[in-house]
Amino acid sequence: MRVIILSWEYPPHIIGEMAWYVRELARRLKKEGVEVYVLTYAPSEEKTDVDEGVVIKRVKPPITVTTNIVVWSLLFTTRLQAVAANLIYKLGSFDVVDAHEWITVDAALALKDRFEIPFVYTIHSLEKHRSASSATPLNIAIESVEELGCREAECIVVNSEWMKSEVTSKVSGVASKIRVVEPYTERWLEGVLKAYRSV
């Protein structure tokens, strides 16, 4: 099995828990024999690292202005698309694209549309949790991307039953493709692999 993981956080670029989560997941997948390519954000230069067999492509966004996170992220994901496409043209297709959080939905969708690679959407949190009382134009845009991701993904992975109910209360008709996988437990990897194999 060959997987692309899209995550804008990855050590040493750490915003929250997600960076550690994705690194641990990638390492464990690799130990299970899965070929793992992580595409993530490059704070300075674009480069490729290998960490315990996991290939990490650090990708630089095409613009430096970050005041509009939606514009910034959608241009970053265009670069992610390009780097992923290069991998695919070089190595052949992948079995799954696992996109973490709304930021990478655009890239996963483009790869699905073009190369027919199944799209797994892993949701760690929703915009309504991060910006609970805020409804600025950018919050609205992010929520619409989250909804698009939920509708277009073949499978949605969340880490708790509570998050599953949060997602289904926001987007109707997607409950049947949500899988609850508790991280860092013995059954974590099994749950993720089941999600990958289901698509």
Partner 1 sequence: MGLKVVMLTWEFPPRIIGGIAPHVYNLSINLVKLGVEVHVVTCDFPNTPAYEVVEGVEVHRFDSYNLPTPDFAAWIQLMNLNMQRAATKIIKSKRDGSIIIHTHDWLSAKAGIGLKHLNRLPLVSTIHATEYGRRGGVFSDYNRMIHEIEVWLGSESKRVICCSRFMAEQVNKVLEVPYEKIKVIPNGIDPSIFTNLEGVEDVRSRFAGKNEKLVLFVGRLVVEKGVHVLLDAIPKVLQKVDAKFIIAGDGYMRSELVKRVAESGLAGKVHITGYLDTNTIRRLFLAADVCVIPSLYEPFGIVALEAMAAGCPVVASDTGGLSEIIEHEKTGVKVYPNNPDSLAWGILRVLESKDLVERLKKNMREKVEREYRWSNIAQTTKSVYEEALN
Beta strands in the chain (DSSP E): 2-6, 35-41, 47-51, 54-59, 96-100, 119-122, 155-158, 178-180
Q: How far is the CB of 171 from partner 1 (least distance, A)?
A: 14
68 binds partner 1, rule: CB under 8 A: yes
Rank residues 1 and 74 by Cβ distance to partner 1 and give the closer one: 74
DSSP, collapsed to helix, strand or coil, labels residue 106 as helix
- Count of residues binding partner 1 (CB under 8 A)? 30
Residue among 15, 8, 94, 99 at smallest CA distance from 57 = 8
Q: How far is the CB of 88 from partner 1 (least distance, A)?
A: 9
For every residue of 61-82, which 3-state class applies, written as one string? CCCCCCCCHHHHHHHHHHHHHH
Distance between CA atoms of residues 126 and 142, nearest Å: 9
Rank residues 144 and 160 by Cβ distance to partner 1 and give the closer one: 144
Cβ atoms within 10 Å, residue 147:
18
Beta strands 155-158 and 178-180 are: parallel
Distance between CA atoms of residues 199 and 197, nearest Å: 6
Which one of 145, 156, 158, 163 is in contact with partner 1 (CB under 8 A)? 145
Rank residues 78 and 131 by Cβ distance to partner 1 and give the closer one: 78
Which one of 137, 169, 173, 176 is in contact with partner 1 (CB under 8 A)? 137
List the interface residues with partner 1, window 73-132 (CB under 8 A). 74-75, 78, 81-82, 85-86, 89, 106, 109-111, 113-115
Q: Which residues bind partner 1 (CB under 8 A)?
A: 62-65, 67-68, 70-71, 74-75, 78, 81-82, 85-86, 89, 106, 109-111, 113-115, 137-138, 140-141, 144-145, 148
